[in-house]
Structures are given as C-alpha cells and as structure tokens.
Amino acid sequence: MEGFIRFLSEFVFWYPLMMSLLWIAGSSLFFKYREKEEVIDFEHIDWPLISILVPCFNEEETIEETIKNLTRIYYPKKEIIVVNDGSKDDTFKILRKLAKQHQDLKVIDCQENRGKANALIIATHASNAEYLVCVDSDALLDPYAAHYLVYHFLHKGERLGAVTGNPRIRNRDTLISRLQIVEYASIIGAIKRTQRILGKIMTVSGVVVAFRKKALIDVGLWDRDMITEDISVSWKLQQRFWDIRYEPRALCWMLVPETIKGIWKQRIRWAQGGQEVMMRYWRILLNWKQRRIWPVYLEQWASLIWSFSWVFVTLYYLLSASSIQQFFIWITFSSFSLVFMSLIQLWVSIRTDSKYDNILMYYLWAAWYPAIYWLLNTVIVMFALPKAIKSRLNGGYATWVSPDRGNRKVG
C-alpha cells in the first residue's frame, strides 16, 4: 500500500508540473513561429458569402446587443440566421422587431427547446453560404473577426474544416470574472496554441468558430445528444481528417459567470461534455491512422485520473494518524511547486495574449488562481463523471439553459 501511495503522490505532484511546462513550451513555439503579424489587404480580397449562425434560448437581456453588433461588422457579404430555441421570455418578440429593421437577418422560431446542437443544425439547413460562423447569443464580434476566420479557408487548403477564434471577457468587475480573464489566457489560450503545435485541437470555442459547411455535412453535422456540441463536432471533424486551426486575431467579447453557482453549472457542463466525448470516441486508440489525436485524448484521461488521485492521496494522509506530518510536508511542497509553475505559465500566457487585449494588469490576480482553479476543477470533474455516464446510457436531446451572464460592462 505504501508503494502505491508513493506512486500516486508522485503522479499528483509531477503531472500538473509537466503539463504546465508543455503548455509554456507549446504556446511559446506557436507564438514565435505561427502567430506572426500577417498583413491582410481586406479591401482587395473577393470575400465569399458567410452565414452567421446564432442559437439562443431565453436571451432577452443580450440578444439585441449581439444582433446589432453582427449587423455592424465590416464583413461585406453576410446573412445572419438566429434560431430561437423555445425561449420562454421575450427573446422571439425582440428578434421579430429586429428582423423588420435588418434585411440580412433571418429568424427561425422553434416552439420547443431541443438544444443548441439542434438549433445549429436548423440554421445550417437554412443557410446559403459555404462558410458558417457560429456565435453565442451574448457575444460581440470584433469588426474584423470574420475576415480573419474566413481567410484561413481561402488560403490553407480544402481539408480545413474549422477555424476557432479567440474569446475575450468583457465583464471584469469581480474576483471571479478577473480570475477567468487569467484562465482564458493561461489555460485555454495556451492549450489551444499547444494542441495546434501537436496538430490536433481538443475543442473549438463554441462562442466563436467558423466551419466549412461541406466538412460539417461530411461528419453528419452536430450531435444532438451531446451536452457540449463544440467538443463533439471537433472530434468528429478530426476523426474524418478535417483540419482545425486556431486564429487568435479573431476576437470575440463575451460575458462570463460572476457567481460561484453560475461558474459551477458552466464548468460541470464543460467537464461532462469532455467526458462524454472520451467515452464515445475511445476506439480511436485502436486505429493507427488516428495516432495524431492520441496525445490529446490520453491527456484528458490523465487529467481525470489526476483529480481522483489527488483526492485519494489527500484523504489517505489526513486519515492516517502516522502520516499526518508527512501530509503537511507533501501538501506544502506540492502547493508551492504548483503555484510557482502556474505563475510562470500565467506570466508567459498573459504576455502573449496582451498583444490582443490589455490584460497585463490582471496578473496581480494570478496569485489566487492556481489554488482556486485546481481545487474547484478537481471537485467539478468528480461531480461531472456520473452525469456523463448517465447521459451516455440515456441518450436523447441535450437541451440547454441560459447561463449566468454576469455584469454587462465592456472591458
């Protein structure tokens, strides 16, 4: 037993440190070699028609702001398709008013909530364009975000299936929202850059992503029974050898939860979605042709195992009277090492993303981040696992609810 505990303790200690080093190295390589400033002459490109798809459910507080923003972006040829997925508030009433004001806006009203994936499928069937830009109903696109996304399809080859953008946070007045500014730079941005270096991406950002319609049709569009349609469709595309790219200049300003309850619900959903994908696509490990996505898949399982291992080792030391001194030595050393490496990762990542968003000032909040994030994430992963198993057994439509949008102030 002692040998097993020692092995788990070493795994709990070394895994986050090694992953942090990997993310630092991967994001730095991406920034140096793939994130060079490429001057695009927007005026002298014959931009194709795009369809901007906006699924929404109970979004009366945000939908008008989002639609007005989309009508004002600089992209020359666009249609906006909004699907009201059985909203119980005044969302459809607002959309109907907006449709009379904007000729490029189409509104589809669904009487029953069937989930975000189903709404996106309906919008895709109604679209006239080959390139689809999916945007959340609380998001504000940068004026040139669509240009940067579509540019990849025009110059990166026919096997490019999707381009994911760079979500930025606009409500920045609370501790929770400021911690998420740090997170989006240090974790999400760094991971996407690193995964792109490895050649595969775990998930596109559902808040802002562009697809080639032909690629979506090839994989059967989105899965209606998956709680996170963005993770699922990413794996479907890459299993069929469609490429996914990351475009950090395609900025999208979004709202994030500002309450513990709101962030708990959001992260449970994310964790459950990732675990559902892990359960559905395990057969990729049996297919040599899928070997380039193995590291991304195995890292997800390693992260899940780490969470349970951390809890098990902590409880073992706490409940073992003879090991209480050893526990305090272990937890002190592990915590110091983790926080130290996290602060390095945070600094590198924030310096990288400060090119697009003035977030250097939020590094002062980074000291809170490692302890809060790792502890909360561990508990979330454990609570999400039974939900993911139940979802895979039951199936059916993965319906949704409007999340906590926080305080609507632009940063």
Query: pLDDT above 90 covers what percent of the chain?
Result: 29
Q: What is the pLDDT of residues 164-220, one digit of tens each?
A: 999 988 887 777 777 777 777 667 888 888 988 888 888 898 889 999 999 999 999
Residue 120 near residue 165, CB atoms below 8 Å = no
Query: Please, which residues have CB within 8 angstroms of residue 32's CB and are 6 or more apart in sequence?
Result: none
Relative to beta strand 78-85, strand 105-110 is parallel
**Tokens 């950090």, residue?**
248
Q: What is the pLDDT of residues 308-317, one digit of tens each?
A: 888 888 788 7
Cα distance between residue 381 and residue 262, in whole Å:
16
Q: What is the mean pLDDT of residues 294-318?
A: 84
DSSP one-letter string for 267-287: HHHHHHHHHHHHHHTGGGGG-
Residue 175, classified by CB atoms within 10 Å of its CB into exposed (0-12), middle (13-18) or buried (19+), is: exposed
pLDDT at 300: 85
First to last CA, the chain: 52
> What is this structure's pTM?
0.86
Q: What is the pLDDT of residues 103-133, one digit of tens each?
A: 899 999 988 888 899 999 999 999 999 999 9
pLDDT at 403: 60
